[in-house]
Homo-oligomer: A and B are copies of this chain.
């Protein structure tokens, strides 16, 4: 058996409760006994047992993280490690530990969350995604269990604490940038429409076009995973239109990489033949060929703020519902070029 509070008490010749108070740094305890107890702890190499403490306290100092199911591209996406780093930093600052949901299917994940919550394994939960319909989120709300969402909730926005970018605005700005370069035919390639971020980005895209008095064209909008095989077909479909787009807004860097790959195979040059603008600005956006112009959404900060918000929620009895918006920034590289110049070398239809 390991060293317990009692062993320390015995050695220091005090009561266990006194040792407990020293650990908690209780102010009303004499410096003398405090020293004595600390000496005893050092001598024995005492470490408090978190489990016992949790049971007595009804609090674990553990945050549960819920990831979307692992078949999602999400998992392959560098977004995930980066946001995790932010979460980790935020948690670490206040000595919280992180526990992650395991489970392949949505049902397994849900079951895992129930275990975390009802099994009292965690004090609060962070959802690393936001979907239009989510069993987990509904469950947490019903039980009034403390949680924070990374991404904008699909409904009841003002009743849920969340951390997000202004993806609507970001997408609008990005599209405006392409417009300012002289593009008039702009396509949008998005991911899964169940994710709110996809919806926000497409809405911002459409809004920008509307403001520029360009009528939106359904044929210019594609949704698919767009990595590997699927991509080629969708892209050629897009480029075989009578008026193919001269620029594309792509919902995510990884997807953009897939698009880039397909275009290369088709001998279409970026940005000479077509411009590409994407989101997230993960590490390899600048390592791609050509380097991608991308909207930096400060992924790390999303995670960091999410941890902090949840911890605030857990510490303050009645912390208000909050929304935290992390700023974004367009990073211009070389995948977008001005239509005014490019028109000379453009692909003839």
List, in ascending order, chain B residues with CB within 8 A of A96's CB: 102
Question: A118 with B261: in contact, given A55-B52, A81-B75 (CB under 8 Å)?
Answer: no
Q: Mark the stretch among A151-159, A173-181, A285-293, A324-332 that contacts chain B.
A: A285-293
Q: Which of B51, B76, B103 contacts A54 (CB 8 A)?
A: B51
Closest chain B CB from A265 CB (angstroms): 9
List, in ascending order, chain B residues with CB within 8 A of A254's CB: 283-284, 287
List, in ascending order, chain B residues with CB within 8 A of A104's CB: 89, 92
Interface residues of A, CB < 8 Å — how many?
58
Question: A291 with B100: in contact, given A54-B51, A92-B112, A227-B283 (CB under 8 Å)?
Answer: no
CB 8 Å contact bits of A68-88 with B (1 = contact, 0 = none): 001000011110111011001
Give CA–CA (A286, B229) in the complex, Å: 11
List, in ascending order, chain B residues with CB within 8 A of A248's CB: none
Chain B's closest residue to A91 (CB) is B102
Question: A102 with B89: in contact, given A227-B283, A228-B286 (CB under 8 Å)?
Answer: yes
List, in ascending order, chain B residues with CB within 8 A of A115's CB: 47, 50, 97
Q: Is A348 an interface residue (CB 8 A)?
A: no
Closest chain B CB from A293 CB (angstroms): 15
List, in ascending order, chain B residues with CB within 8 A of A89's CB: 70, 102, 104
List, in ascending order, chain B residues with CB within 8 A of A119's CB: 47-51
Q: Tell me if A100 and B88 are in contact (CB < 8 A).
A: yes
List, in ascending order, chain B residues with CB within 8 A of A55's CB: 51-52, 55
Question: A70 with B47: in contact, given A81-B80, A98-B100 (CB under 8 Å)?
Answer: no
Q: What's the number of copies of this chain in the assembled complex?
A: 2
Q: Is A197 an interface residue (CB 8 A)?
A: no
List, in ascending order, chain B residues with CB within 8 A of A219's CB: none
Q: Is A134 an interface residue (CB 8 A)?
A: no
Q: Is A60 an interface residue (CB 8 A)?
A: yes
List, in ascending order, chain B residues with CB within 8 A of A88's CB: 70, 100, 102-103
Chain B's closest residue to A59 (CB) is B51
Q: Tell me if B288 and A289 are in contact (CB < 8 A).
A: yes
Q: Tell me if A102 and B108 are in contact (CB < 8 A).
A: no
List, in ascending order, chain B residues with CB within 8 A of A75's CB: 81-82, 84-85
CB-contacts of A110-128 with B (<8 A) = 112, 114-116, 118-121
- Return 7 A-B CB contacts under 8 Å, by A number: A47-B118, A48-B119, A50-B121, A75-B81, A76-B78, A78-B78, A92-B108
Beyond contacts A92-B103, A98-B100: 13 other A-B pairs, Cβ-Cβ < 8 A, are A47-B115, A49-B120, A51-B60, A51-B121, A78-B78, A80-B81, A92-B104, A96-B102, A99-B100, A227-B283, A227-B287, A260-B287, A289-B289
Chain A residues at the B interface, C-beta cutoff of 8 Å: 2, 47-52, 54-55, 60, 62, 70, 75-78, 80-82, 84-85, 88-89, 91-92, 96-100, 102-104, 108, 112, 114-116, 118-121, 227-228, 254, 257-258, 260-261, 264, 282-284, 286-289, 291
